[in-house]
Amino acid sequence: MASAEGPLRVLVTGASEGIGAAIARKFAENGARVAVVSRSQAKLDALIATLTGSGHLALPADLSNTESLPSLVEQAVDALGGLDVVVNNDGVSGPGLLDVEAWQAQFTMQVLSAIAIARAAQPALAASGRGVLVNMSSGLAQMPSPSFAPYGGAKAAQDMLTKTLALQWAPSGIRVVGVAPGPVHTPGLELALLSSAPPGADRAAVIEGGLKYMGSMLPLGRVGQPSEVADAVYWLAASGGNITGVILPVDGGALLTSAFSAPTK
């Protein structure tokens, strides 16, 4: 199963759209074989139809069911003949400052699922000779936001997991890194913008106005694109040979401002 050369074998969770889909495309464009995970078989099939190359695999799964995740990883290892890169791109943001259920849901999705996948993937990553685990973080892990406290808290815990595993797994030759996107133009962000629009509002105008407003709060003046996050993930995994334990912001400078920490209205 060991292979320090040849096409990368990659597992990407949360891959049906947005950042996860862009990550899968980036690896496939560069010759990797990719196993993609999401709840929706139909969305995964549609994604695989657009991926460069062949030998890709759709694995529909509910990541909140952590007991099923070792089997999921095993399927990917068996189908790809090993694993070189695992990208934990789990979960979506949501409110609930003092909502216990919201905190439980976010920690299950962001932390416990990441732990289950990491534990199951560790033997294959060690055997790879070039194993990399990438945990997708967020600037909300570093900047408090009452609007997204459960999500930010879970991502902060995931960041500590990233750094701890980087130390623990270094003797096995496995690198562990994080990527922390800022605001990114995804279908999820569009839905969030539309959710606060008045009935009958022009959808395109609402989205355009929301993106423009969010961009105005960022030093680089615009929200990011999924492909830009994917570029960072690919570079860390494929080229960042002496980098481990870092959380790389890809946020247009958001962490240099208060853009993440606006209070609840």
Asked if 213 is an active-site residue, the reply is no
For the chain, how many residues are written? Answer: 265
Residue 84 shares a structural domain with residue 152: yes
Each residue's pLDDT tens digit, 51-67: 999 999 999 999 999 99
Residue 95 shares a structural domain with residue 210: no
Under 8 Å between Cβ of 251 and 136: no
Question: Above 90 in pLDDT, residue 146?
Answer: no
CATH classification of the domain holding 26: 3.40.50.720
Residue 95 shares a structural domain with residue 129: yes
Each residue's pLDDT tens digit, 23-82: 999 999 999 999 999 999 999 999 999 999 999 999 999 999 999 999 999 999 999 999
Domain presence at residue 152: yes
Residue 193 shares a structural domain with residue 129: no
Q: How far is CA 123 from CA 38, 78, 84, 114, 135, in A?
A: 23, 13, 11, 15, 17
Domain presence at residue 265: no
Under 8 Å between Cβ of 138 and 93: yes
**Which tokens go with 238?**
């494929």
Each residue's pLDDT tens digit, 75-131: 999 999 999 999 999 866 666 667 788 889 989 989 999 999 999 999 999 999 999
Residue 168 shares a structural domain with residue 140: yes
Domain tally, the chain: 2
Residue 218 shares a structural domain with residue 148: no
Domain containing residue 153: 9-182+226-253
Domain presence at residue 39: yes
Residue 237 shares a structural domain with residue 108: yes
Residue 178 shares a structural domain with residue 189: no
Neighbouring C-alpha atoms within 13 Å toward the C-beta of 210: 21
Residue 138 shares a structural domain with residue 245: yes
| CA dihedral of 134, 104, 35, 186, whole degrees rounded to 10 | -80
Residue 138 shares a structural domain with residue 204: no
Under 8 Å between Cβ of 22 and 45: no
Of the residues 27, 151, 169, 260, which is catalytic?
A: 151
Domain presence at residue 2: no
Residue 191 shares a structural domain with residue 205: yes
The mean per-residue pLDDT over the stretch 224-232 comes to 97
Domain presence at residue 3: no
Domain presence at residue 264: no
